Amino acid sequence: MPKNLNNRQPFRHEVLIIGGGAAGLSLALRLAPHASVAVIAKGPENAGSTYHAQGGISAVLRDEDSFESHIQDTLNAGGGLCDEQAVRFTVEHGPETIRWLAELGVPFTADKHKDGSKHYHLTREGGHSHRRVIHAADATGKALETTLINHARHEKNIELLEDHIAVDLITGSKLGLKHNRCIGAYVLNKSRGHVETFQARFVVLATGGANKVYLYTTNPDGSTGDGIAMGWRAGCRVANMEFMQFHPTCLFHPSAKSFLISEALRGEGGKLKLPNGRRFMDRFDKHAELAPRDIVARAIDHEMKRLGADCMYLDISHKPAAFITSHFPTIYAKCRELGIDITKQPIPVVPAAHYTCGGIMTDLNGCTDVDHLYAIGETAFTGLHGANRMASNSLLECLVFAQSASDHIKSQLADDYEWDEIRPWDESRVTNSDEEVVVSHNWNELRHFMWDYVGIVRTDKRLQRAKRRIDLLLSEIDDYYGNFRITNDLIELRNLAVVADLIIRCAMQRKESRGLHYTLDYPQTDDTKPAENTILKPSK
């Protein structure tokens, strides 16, 4: 913990990383030999999206595979909006990233061959033309996060601060300075209940996505778009927020909160079925169960609405029981706990918000529009995913861009730097709220109308309704934020509302269906002109 407990004085580090998942921790480890680093996380190590990732990390690791194949698969999945330079950059750095993780001790699953040799087991997921997804059984994220955080805890230059949530970034323009670089952040220490000032030469947003903006999501509760909202308020451009990926298969059970059924299960032969046991995916795409996620999610959504069904079913019970329990031990155990034996029964599934393809615009070094401010991982828009993220490219992006951001930051550490004076957080004109119900009510209303109006299938009328509601909520939240002491829930609600507005505005601008954005008013992709990203720029 920081040594100075007087919150009037800022904590100073060379690098402040906001977010403790794969992106933030891998960046911290790469920087640790060269700089003092603070990593702030909203909760414990198992609270973020990385820990809950099941599938794996895509990378070219076999001779029969190739960079060109991985690049082409990614471009195909991206609906014409991928930045080919970003795709190539990410793919070509994949193998060295996996080697780095293996050296750290990430326990990737291996197959033992007849000659006694061991090779990594690779699975195949939707959109991939080869087996190239390296994994640790069906709990890759847990293995990755645990390994990274164990190393980080033993690095003397890294301070890990759990139960801290960033309130807002501090920039020169906000303080009336001549420059507008990012110089730190105000951070709520949840255990002590007050806001502390963190000052840094470089600040990195690595807070993950914004999928909690929807009523149903595979993500943990902390996926509230904090980094995207803070970056937007600091003056960063945001792109392609209309492309919210809905994972096709979230476990449907009243006692199962946000439990994902990995795409790897379909990659190993799992079949999607109607309540009567018949398959249906071959009617929607030639790749059937291995079609890109947007197609599979819309197909499930269509069949549920057509039949008035609560869910569809994913069946892998035709595979040997030993195969199922060895390859999918986490899924098997969770379903068994709920009375579902996946070696004998199909799994009830529904689509749920899963991944934010848009975000804060960056270059290949993770640099944003604000000097000394970086964004990496799901928070960032690098151009890799385009209109639809291909399975298991997300963890790869986190790790590759953490490395490039680290290299860029290290190249500047020797430069002269003058620390600015920062005013401490001022709570002299606010009071404790006696109406916490306002926060919970607005939180529920927001997630309900986003699910109803800005979900898997959209229309102009639905988007207009959503825009009217978000404008009113933004006004109410801003008034509440200005008059009462902040809490974790209020910070997250404020950020979710900003992100919801960005999603709605981007969706209203796109007059076509492309990738993850599907609208009944414009059901076709507009091929009359080159595909363009939806870019929003903050007003000054």
Active site residues: 293
In angstroms, rounded to a whole number, what is the distance separating the alpha carbons of residues 187 and 173? 19
Encoded amino acid at 174, one letter: K
Residues 6+ apart with CB under 8 A from 479: none
**CA proximity to 187, closest of 206, 165, 157, 171:** 165
Encoded amino acid at 486, one letter: I
Rg over alpha carbons for the chain, rounded to the nearest Å, is 23
- For 12, phi then psi, to 5°, come to -115, 130
> Which two tokens mark 374?
């970086």
**CA proximity to 119, closest of 105, 130, 106, 134:** 134
Q: Which residues pair with 57 in a beta bridge?
A: 134
217 C-beta neighbours (distance < 10 Å), count: 26
Contact between 491 and 167 under an 8 Å Cβ cutoff? The reply is yes
In angstroms, rounded to a whole number, what is the distance separating the alpha carbons of residues 414 and 528? 50
In angstroms, rounded to a whole number, what is the distance separating the alpha carbons of residues 400 and 77? 20
Alpha helices, DSSP H only, in 219-288? 226-234, 263-267
| SS3 of residue 295 by DSSP | helix
Alpha helices, DSSP H only, in 411-487? 437-453, 460-483
Question: How far is the first Cα of the chain from the last one, in angstroms, to the nearest whole number?
Answer: 37
Residues 6+ apart with CB under 8 A from 8: 424
